[in-house]
Amino acid sequence: MAFRTDTIHSGEPLLAVLQRHGLEHDDANRAVAGLSLLDARKVRAGTEVTAAVHPDSGVTNVTFQLAIDRVVRLMRSPDGWVEVEERLPWTTDTVAVAGVVTSTLTDAIAKAAEAFPADVRTEVAYRIADVLEYRVDMSRDLRVGDSIVALVEREATAKGHVRAGRMLATRAMIGGTRYEAVRFDGEDGAERFYDAEGRSMKAAFLRSPLEFSRISSTFGSRKHPILKTWRQHTGVDYAARTGTPVRAIGDGKVIFAGWKGGYGRTVELRHPNGMVTRYAHLSAFGAGIKVGATVKVASTIGKVGMTGLATGPHLHFETLIGGTHRNPSVALKNVGGEPLPAAQRSAFAMRRSALLGDLDTRVLAMQAPAMGPEGLRPAGMRPVESRAAGATN
């Protein structure tokens, strides 16, 4: 038995690839007609199609690799073609990653996450950023020398495909502040993370109106995602591709949605605490965004653009309190969300010490001289006060 692999070319019918594999036209037609587990018209170009060829009887079966973990196999039988679907199992183990920031978070994780293949490492960085997104604006707060360690599940198939699984715990020193997040799912099974004090990592306000992955995926090096800083004008600019979704920083009500001079297409939200947030230079409004509409935290209120006085696509973002501009990094500072109910605290404490103990042990075991002892030694992270003063003012 020999195996031959081909791929479906753009725009070609399934029939064509089967014919390239040596099936006669009518035989290939019957094979396609026998497929109910996949829609022949919707199979993507590039899908791998492998034929098993017997020296005497020709093609005996054809396998369509629909996803890393899903194949549909057509087998020739005396009664015609028979199809079966196979799901390849993923096995899970747990690994630690530990990175020191020299230029960007994704660079730091890419260097550190050797347990993951190169194409998965960025995903690991995004997962860490997601867990911290109510506390840290990764695109603005990171400093050279910051350190991040995390305990992550790694999933693999027998064929060696690897992907990032669940994030379990992370410890980070970012811009002079120490962060910790431990996964402790709700009784409903929903993913939840809590800090060292047992407060939810989810809070009233996101720290950035753009998803971290949206910024970094646009700018390869991510060295200069920010065009200007708070000091130079009344807001913060996030460079991102036109069309990038802009998120409501918190629950609120739309008090302005329209054109506003140099701001171009602009949305303003008023939040329950009275703070107003402004999102400018938008290329489009989000669905249903008009004055009086209510929005939920992280919902899309518009798309990045360059309307008004803008030299390139970016989001201009402002926070106003009592009509006065405030530095968003101060206005949006969260100390934490809802605390865990008292009844769950001891279970959380046990979970926390188990996960962080596991993380510490693994980080110590993997520690290489090149990473430097300072930021990564779990017990030796720099004190909180060391940089907090100068970092954000």
Binding site for Zn ion (CB under 5 A): 235, 237, 316
Q: Which residue is nearest to Zn ion (CB)?
A: 316
Tell me whether residue 107 or residue 318 sits nearer to Zn ion (CB atom). Answer: 318
At 202 the three-state DSSP class reads coil
Cβ atoms of 116 and 162 within 8 Å: the answer is: yes
For the CB of residue 271, give the shortest distance to Zn ion in the complex, in Å.
20
Could you tell me which of 233, 216, 234, 213 has the C-alpha nearest to residue 225?
Answer: 216
Can you give 239-259 as a three-state secondary structure string? ECCCCCEEECCCCEEEEEEEE
For the CB of residue 241, give the shortest distance to Zn ion in the complex, in Å.
17
For the CB of residue 104, give the shortest distance to Zn ion in the complex, in Å.
22
Cα 56 to Cα 50: distance, rounded to the nearest angstrom: 18
For the CB of residue 367, give the shortest distance to Zn ion in the complex, in Å.
42
Cβ atoms of 69 and 80 within 8 Å: the answer is: no
Cα 236 to Cα 265: distance, rounded to the nearest angstrom: 16
At 362 the three-state DSSP class reads helix
Tell me whether residue 135 or residue 316 sits nearer to Zn ion (CB atom). Answer: 316
Q: Which two tokens stand for residue 65?
A: 């690799």
User: Tell me, what DSSP letter sits at residue 43?
Assistant: P
For the CB of residue 350, give the shortest distance to Zn ion in the complex, in Å.
47
Tell me how long the chain is. Answer: 393
Task: Give the DSSP per-residue string, 24-64.
Answer: -HHHHHHHHHT--SS-TTTPPTT-EEEEEEETTTEEEEEEE
For the CB of residue 31, give the shortest distance to Zn ion in the complex, in Å.
59
Q: Which two tokens stand for residue 107?
A: 């660079």
Tell me whether residue 271 or residue 316 sits nearer to Zn ion (CB atom). Answer: 316
Cβ atoms of 313 and 332 within 8 Å: the answer is: no
Tell me whether residue 60 or residue 242 sits nearer to Zn ion (CB atom). Answer: 242
Tell me whether residue 281 or residue 352 sits nearer to Zn ion (CB atom). Answer: 281
Tell me whether residue 310 or residue 340 sits nearer to Zn ion (CB atom). Answer: 310
Can you give 298-322 as a three-state secondary structure string? CCEEEECECCCCCCCCEEEEEEEEC
Q: Which two tokens stand for residue 333?
A: 């500072």
Q: Which residue has the tokens 């867990």?
A: 131
Tell me whether residue 127 or residue 316 sits nearer to Zn ion (CB atom). Answer: 316
For the CB of residue 228, give the shortest distance to Zn ion in the complex, in Å.
6
Tell me whether residue 41 or residue 231 sits nearer to Zn ion (CB atom). Answer: 231
Cα 379 to Cα 349: distance, rounded to the nearest angstrom: 18
For the CB of residue 263, give the shortest distance to Zn ion in the complex, in Å.
9
Could you tell me which of 123, 133, 174 has the C-alpha nearest to residue 392?
Answer: 174
For the CB of residue 272, give the shortest distance to Zn ion in the complex, in Å.
26
Cα 219 to Cα 241: distance, rounded to the nearest angstrom: 9
- CB within 8 Å of 156: residues ≥ 6 apart: 90, 91, 93, 162, 163
Tell me whether residue 165 or residue 235 sits nearer to Zn ion (CB atom). Answer: 235
For the CB of residue 381, give the shortest distance to Zn ion in the complex, in Å.
34
Tell me whether residue 116 or residue 279 sits nearer to Zn ion (CB atom). Answer: 279
